[in-house]
Chains A and B, each alone.
Chain A
């Protein structure tokens, strides 16, 4: 089945620096790749997503890049701020033979932005 690997598991950066989180997936049929941010004790919230017909998408300080050939995608956060500290999850869609749809998640990256 679909597998999503995420690295690193923890990331500590100085405020103002950039942070990069990387994910790889196994199902070449996947076409949708979202990123979620989860603050302590709260629900995951979508921060950005990308479809396979584009290679990069940007929203202010965050961007996602996708390499379909290599089956990996990355989250880039520039000018990091303390409020960016959270756990970030990547995900990849999986469509089953009966057309049922689900998301498979990576194991998460705990990002700490030091003031």
Chain B
């Protein structure tokens, strides 16, 4: 059963701690993306990766980091430098450049107190 798996579904952290969100896909897609969703706002792009070992900053990359060591995995680290990290985080993928649509995971809701 192909798809994108994000874990965990809910995550709670204390302020000042780094936290890593997992995203795994078995769709054999080349491109992967991380979006952040806040209430009343659309999805804002954090980071994206078109191929293994390469990634680019999106529109709101400050305070986040990613890696793409394997094609199927694109973890996102929310660092203590992110001023307002509480949000719903969505991972997505596409077969490759110029090959929509985006397929989304079920998301991780991160709460930092």
Contact of B100 among A9, A49, A108 (CB under 8 A): A49
Grouping DSSP codes into helix (H, G, I), strand (E, B) and loop, the A interface class, with mixed when no group exceeds half, is strand
Interface pair B100/A103, CB less than 8 Å apart: yes
Interface pair B105/A6, CB less than 8 Å apart: no
Contact of A95 among B40, B45, B56, B98 (CB under 8 A): B98
Interface pair B107/A43, CB less than 8 Å apart: yes
Interface pair B43/A89, CB less than 8 Å apart: yes
Chain B residues with CB below 8 A from A89, complex form: 42-43
Contact with B along A25-61 (1 / 0, CB 8 A): 0000000101000000011111001000000000000
Alpha-carbon distance between A98 and B42 when the two chains are bound, in angstroms: 25
Alpha-carbon distance between A89 and B44 when the two chains are bound, in angstroms: 12
Contact with B along A73-115 (1 / 0, CB 8 A): 0000000000000000100010110111111111110000000
Chain B residues with CB below 8 A from A32, complex form: 100
Q: How large is the interface on B (under 10, 10 to 19, 20 to 34, 35 or more residues)?
A: 20 to 34
Q: Say if the beta carbon of B106 comes within 8 Å of chain A.
A: yes
Chain A residues with CB below 8 A from B25, complex form: none
Chain A residues with CB below 8 A from B98, complex form: 95, 99, 101
Interface pair A106/B42, CB less than 8 Å apart: yes
Interface pair A43/B59, CB less than 8 Å apart: no
Chain A residues with CB below 8 A from B74, complex form: none
Alpha-carbon distance between A107 and B39 when the two chains are bound, in angstroms: 10
Interface pair A99/B97, CB less than 8 Å apart: yes
Interface pair B40/A93, CB less than 8 Å apart: no
Alpha-carbon distance between A56 and B41 when the two chains are bound, in angstroms: 27
Alpha-carbon distance between A93 and B98 when the two chains are bound, in angstroms: 9
List A residues at the B interface (Cβ < 8 Å): 1, 4, 6, 9, 32, 34, 42-46, 49, 89, 93, 95-96, 98-108
15 A-B Cβ contacts within 8 A? A32-B100, A34-B100, A34-B102, A43-B90, A44-B43, A44-B90, A46-B101, A46-B102, A89-B42, A89-B43, A101-B50, A101-B97, A102-B48, A105-B42, A108-B42
